[in-house]
Chain A
Amino acid sequence: MNDSAYTTEPTAAAQPDRDLDDPMVSVENLKKHFPLFEGIFQKKAGEVRAVDGVSFSIAEGETFGLVGESGSGKTTTGRSMLRLTEPTSGRVEIDGQNVVDLSDGELKRFRRNMQIVHQDPASSLNPRHRVKSIIEAPLKIHDYGDSEARLERVEELLDMVDLPREFMYRYPGQLSGGQKQRVGIARAVALNPKFVVLDEPTSALDVSVQARIINILEEIQEEFGITYLFITHDLSLLKNVADRIGVMYLGRLVEVGDVDSVFGSPQHPYSRALLSAISTISEEDELAKPDRITLDGEVPDPREKPSGCAFRSRCAHEFDACAVEEPELYERGPDQVARCFLHDDRFEEGAEWE
């Protein structure tokens, strides 16, 4: 192993200064491991490290985009941050409060500050409840006024998501996909949360509907200063909604930075390949993305991640060191870090990167 001092400072917890000195949300070394059992005695046979040490922070009122392919751990990250699945370890601070330490009772009370909009509006709304009782549920749980005050709030929320007020007496089955998702959004913002996880909020919708939903989400954010974590696999969408983004691969963040830097000059081979695979509708966009890079093979089995850099099995730049140890996050710009040895001056190959 090479012992010489790093010439490029590895920045394990690289958090650029920007306005992130006092972030609304900060995640430190978050881990979620799912145990695997086998045999008739259900002996623990290993684990899937779905989220394996993820750190990032989000400034108040900003949108942080988390992008990656299926199985990369982006949804698990979002869910463990809200403790919808219990994280294995790590620290999640939301508005100064470490969520991981909260007792059940405290957690329930704290949930008014952190909400989620689920991916599939068809399955995340109870089909046997009317829209009114769906949106009212969080208000009731958190003792929001009397029934009159709640009704008023429901009307206000329906206005906010651009749904006619009489829709409150409908059932989800009577609504279109876009309308259902608006109800999901109204429910999530009912208690004026500080932080909302948007888990692929538009991937089940048509593009013409998606654009409306995105506009509504942006209006709400502007008005109430809500901080968003936007989880998606759609990079072109992220370019339009996020302030900063993180690219995930097999449970690790491989690149983090502000949206313009990452799109303008991706510094990890995986981010570059992802960007190159976007399908575009204009020549302009065609030029704005890297030339098509075809990745070898497929995402490895998360139970048997490659040693060292998890991406090396598909990377065109792989060299000896990649198998030995995992790269740190190397600083590549004022607000951009990438987990790749190509940026380490110890290795000659670094020169190959542009």
Chain B
Amino acid sequence: MADPILEVKNLHVHFETHDGTAEVINGIDFSIDRGETAALVGETGCGKSVTVKSIMGLLPSATIPEGEIRYKGEDVLSLSDAERHSRRGKEMSMIMQDPMTSLNPVLTVGEQMMDVLKWQGRPRLSLSKLVRDTLSTGAKAEHRTRAIEMLGEVEISAPERVFESYPVELSGGMRQRVLIAIALLSEPDLLIADEPGTALDVTTEAKVLDLLDELVEERDTSVLYITHDLGVAREVSDRINVMYAGEIVEQAPTADLFANPQHPYTRGLLESIPTLSTGIGDGIEGHLPDYTNPPAGCRFADRCPHAEAACHEAYPYPRQTGPDHATACHLFEGLPARERHESLATDPVNIGTAPWLTGGDAPGDISADGGTDQ
């Protein structure tokens, strides 16, 4: 990790509910290098959106008892609201999941785009500035040109017309393009894309993803891509972090993850995806644990076909299973990926090795004791 733009370290996020404290994010670590696209993959309720909202600082009702979020080396959790506000939109911006509801229906696309430009980098708009803005048409005209230019860049064929349109007048694909345009308007260094294609049709989704890919490539923007679809993650990302129940259970470079999936959850997920050549698997029995009363050991143990009694007791800290591959499962041996887990590693849980590895060498198998540096 030469120069990460974003580092998340041991992040915990809790919510107070009437059933007690929900420990929704339980100590996750990941980082994104400059210019890299990382994906956060997981199913409904695994905490992907909570993770990115805590990065953006959009979770007023949550408490973060522990953890660090470093953006360009600076701990954003220690910043004041105003300071975080001034970074949103300018330094990091986000494409929301649902293009149908994340645009304001009573403002035109143009008004919403101008807002971004007017507010960027400013926590509050001072009165004198407001007066100056109203009196001079210069800034406004400039903003307008910039906004229309941006609409053109997301391949909207009639940018002037769309600029004057209300969101309802646009199709889903167009709205998603507008959202991308808004997110990229102030040239952020970090873009968070929360399932940008999910609400669209396949042919439109494919186009929007290609476009996004092109735009971030041009600008060398780092992207954190949230998706539930491993197929999409495979297409867009350099690295994948697989999340389950508020923990990152496996992280690896994209090609490595697909060649050598290790965590039983990752494997179950991959088997469940209907494919063209092999068929559809059996899925994963059971459901997510109760966040207000999470299991002490592995959060996946209840649904895991390989779980032993020990899995329910001992926390499966993420361990290095390859040069750049970490898996949080007792089936694998390896040094702890995080320093804070070293004490746990002194008392290893032995439940044997993964059954799919004992039958013969798995394709692309990386020996378990390789890459123990770090």
Contact = CB atoms under 8 A, between A and B. Distances in A.
Do chains A and B interact in one complex?
yes
Interface of A: 69-70, 176-178, 206-215, 233-237, 239-241, 263, 273-274, 276-282, 284-285, 288-289, 292, 294-295, 298-299
Contacts of A210: 272, 274, 283
A63 B287 CA distance: 29
A206 B228 contact: yes
Contacts of A214: 274, 280
Contact of A211 (B201, B228, B283): B283
Contacts of B174: 298
Nearest to B45: A206
Interface residues of B, number: 41
Interface of B: 43-44, 171-174, 201-207, 210, 228-232, 234-235, 258, 268-285, 287
B210 to A, nearest CB: 7
B276 A285 contact: yes
Contact of B173 (A241, A274, A298): A298
A236 B274 contact: yes
Q: Which of A211, A239, A273 is packed against the most chain B CB atoms within 10 Å? A: A211
Given A235-B202, A274-B202, A282 B275 contact: yes
Contact of B201 (A212, A233, A237, A239): A233
B44 A206 contact: yes
A211 B276 contact: no
Contacts, number: 120
Nearest to B268: A208
B269 A208 contact: yes
Contacts of A298: 171, 173-174, 204
B232 A239 contact: no
A209 B204 CA distance: 26
A279 B274 contact: no
Which 7 pairs show the lowest CB-CB distances between chains A and B?
Answer: A211-B283, A279-B231, A212-B283, A69-B201, A208-B284, A206-B43, A211-B272
Contact of A176 (B207, B271, B287): B287
Nearest to B279: A240
A278 B258 CA distance: 17
B276 A278 contact: yes
A292 to B, nearest CB: 7
B277 A288 contact: yes
A294 B207 contact: yes
Contacts of B270: 281
Contacts of A281: 230-231, 234, 258, 270, 273, 275
Contacts of B172: 70
Contacts of B43: 206-208
Nearest to B172: A70
Contacts of B274: 207, 210-211, 214, 234, 236-237, 239-240
B276 A277 contact: no
Most buried by A among B43, B205, B279: B43
Given A207-B272, A215-B282, 14 more contacts: A69-B201, A176-B287, A211-B280, A213-B283, A236-B273, A239-B276, A241-B280, A277-B202, A278-B202, A278-B231, A279-B231, A281-B275, A282-B258, A295-B203
A273 B234 contact: no
A263 B173 contact: no
Nearest to A211: B283
Nearest to A273: B203
9 contacts: A207-B272, A211-B284, A214-B280, A274-B202, A274-B203, A281-B231, A294-B207, A295-B203, A298-B173
Contact of B273 (A207, A209, A213): A207
Contact of A208 (B171, B272, B277, B278): B272
A315 to B, nearest CB: 12
A206 B202 CA distance: 17
B282 A212 contact: yes
Contacts of A234: 274
A277 B173 CA distance: 15
A285 B275 CA distance: 7
A208 B271 CA distance: 8
Contacts of B229: 279
A70 B272 CA distance: 24
Nearest to A67: B202
A212 B273 contact: no
Greatest chain A CB density within 10 A among B174, B204, B278, B283 is at B283
Contacts of A178: 287
B272 A240 contact: no
Q: Which of A208, A212, A288: most chain B Cβ within 10 A?
A: A208
A273 B205 CA distance: 12
B213 to A, nearest CB: 12
B234 A233 contact: no
Contacts of B234: 279-281
A17 to B, nearest CB: 27
Contacts of B268: 208
Contacts of A294: 206-207, 210
Max chain A C-beta neighbours (<10 A), residue from B270, B274, B287:
B274
Contacts of A209: 283-284
A285 B206 contact: no
A294 B174 CA distance: 16
